[in-house]
Amino acid sequence: MSKPRQAQNEEPKLPPVWQQVQTAIWLIGLAILFWQGWIFPGILVLVAISGLTQALMFAYVKRQQNAQALETAREVNLPPTCANCGGPITKQSVRWTGSHTATCPYCGAALKLTDQPLATSSGAPR
Ligand SMILES: [Zn+2]
């Protein structure tokens, strides 16, 4: 018996709202199945729908968390002013060219972010 709960990658926990959505899907689905007298093949469809929505929810939650983490990292590592023209840099005004690269909105110079966020510490200096 293995315990998959102790995975090294921590799975995002679904908020209670999503669990209620799952419950609603099952209740409504079962009601329709009983109403239509379509229990046997129908239950398989319901299981498929439930699994699919769960996967979609996980993907959505994970995506949101990643986006939030990236946003925070960007904000933290953004220099306050442009090194080239001295213009004030904000995360709203800056033009993002990549997840960790940006250009100055005034002069178009590439900005150097102060740190590499979300990077692994494998490339440690000697
Ligand atoms: Zn500039």
| Segment among 10-24, 89-103, 109-123 with least mean pLDDT | 109-123
Q: And the tokens for 18?
A: 């999503």
Q: Report the separation in Å between the CA atom of 75 and the middle of ligand 1, taken as the mean of its atom positions.
A: 17
Residue in 66, 68, 61 with CA at minimum distance from that of residue 12: 61
Task: Report yes or no: 87 and 81 within 8 Å, Cβ to Cβ.
Answer: yes
Could you read off the pLDDT of 54-98 as tens digits, one per residue? 999 999 999 999 999 988 888 888 888 888 999 998 888 888 888
- Polymer length of the chain: 126
Q: Report the separation in Å between the CA atom of 67 and the middle of ligand 1, taken as the mean of its atom positions.
A: 26
Query: What was the pLDDT predicted at 120?
Result: 47
Q: Report the separation in Å between the CA atom of 119 and the middle of ligand 1, taken as the mean of its atom positions.
A: 26
Q: pTM of the prediction?
A: 0.56
Residue 121 reports pLDDT greater than 80: no
DSSP 111: E
Q: Which amino acid is at 64?
A: Q
